[in-house]
Amino acid sequence: MCVVMSSSNLHLGKWKLTPCIETHGFICQRKVDSSIPVPDTTVFPRNWISVGNDSYKLQLQNLTWSEAQMQCEYDQGQLASTMDQLSTAYLELQVLKLQTPVWIGLNKNETHGYFKWIDGWHLNMVQWAPNEPSRERPCVYLDVDGTWKTDFCNHTYPSVCKQSTVFPPTYPPPYPGECYHGNDGTFWLPFRGHCYGIFTEEMLWTAAATSCMEKGAMLVSIEDTDELDFLKRNLEFIKDSYSSFWIGLYKTHLGQWKWVDETVLDFTNWLEGELRDSDINIYVHGNMLSSDGSWKAGLIWDEYPYICKKPKVLTETPTSQTYQKPDLKRGHYGLVVVVLLAAVCLMGLTAAFLYKSGHVLRSVSQPLVLNTGWRAFNNPLYSEPVNKEHMVDSNTVDSSQLVDHMEEEPQLMVTM
pTM: 0.49
For 337, the enclosing helix (H) or strand (E) is helix 335-357
CA–CA distance, 329 with 263 (Å, rounded to integer) = 8
Flag whether pLDDT at 400 surpasses 50: no
Residue 29 is classified by DSSP as -
For 132-179, the pLDDT digits (tens) are 888 889 999 999 999 999 999 999 999 999 999 888 876 556 678 888
Nearest-Å Rg of the Cα atoms of the chain is: 27
Provide CB contacts within 8 A for 394, sequence distance 6+.
369, 370, 371, 376
Rounded Cα distance, 25 and 236, in Å: 71
Greater confidence (357 vs 320) lies with 357
End-to-end CA distance of the chain: 92
- The model's confidence at residue 228, banded by pLDDT at 50, 70 and 90, is very high
Which range, 127-136, 156-165, 263-272, 369-378, is most confident? 156-165
Q: Give whole-number Cα distances, 113 to 167, 294, 352, 411, in Å.
A: 22, 14, 40, 34
